[in-house]
Amino acid sequence: MTERVYEFSTLVVRRRLILELLRRADKPDETASAVFIDPAPTHFELAASISTHREAVSREMSALGKKGLIERRGHRLLLCDLAALEMLAGKEE
């Protein structure tokens, strides 16, 4: 809980969004480079969980999609490059 409060108060929307996507990902093993979120959360659900508004989530999801880091596939969301997403989020493993 303390970590989430810290994120809300100090991180920009893009970093909070990426961290939330990584938390929701179905990671089969540590060597996976891409994973799915099934079912894909709506922009509204993501916005509520990271304490922002839907428009900001939509804008950031579009930017991540244009960079080839995420891709929507039907009812699932593919996180294409976990290493790049973790780097953008400043996550250290």
Q: Could you read off the pLDDT of 38-78 as tens digits, one per residue?
A: 999 999 999 999 989 999 999 999 999 999 999 999 999 99
Structural element, H or E, at residue 78: strand 76-79
pLDDT band at 84 (very low <50, low <70, confident <90, very high): very high
CATH number, domain with residue 53: 1.10.10.10
What is the pTM (predicted TM-score) of this model? 0.83
In this prediction, residue 93 has a pLDDT band, given cuts at 50, 70 and 90, of very low
Q: Are strands 35-37 and 70-73 parallel, antiparallel or unpaired?
A: unpaired
Residue pair 36/78 in contact (Cβ under 8 Å)? The answer is yes
- Please say whether the beta carbons of 89 and 3 come within 8 A: no
Its domain, for residue 77, covers: 2-89
Could you give the CA distance from residue 67 to residue 90 in angstroms, rounded to a whole number? 17
> According to the model, what pLDDT value does residue 3 have?
63
Indicate if the pLDDT at residue 91 is higher than 50. yes
51-62: pLDDT as tens digits: 899 999 999 999
Residue whose tokens read 């989430």:
4
In contact, 13 and 6? CB cutoff 8 Å = no
Question: How many domains does the chain divide into?
Answer: 1
- Is the CB of residue 79 less than 8 Å from the CB of residue 37? yes
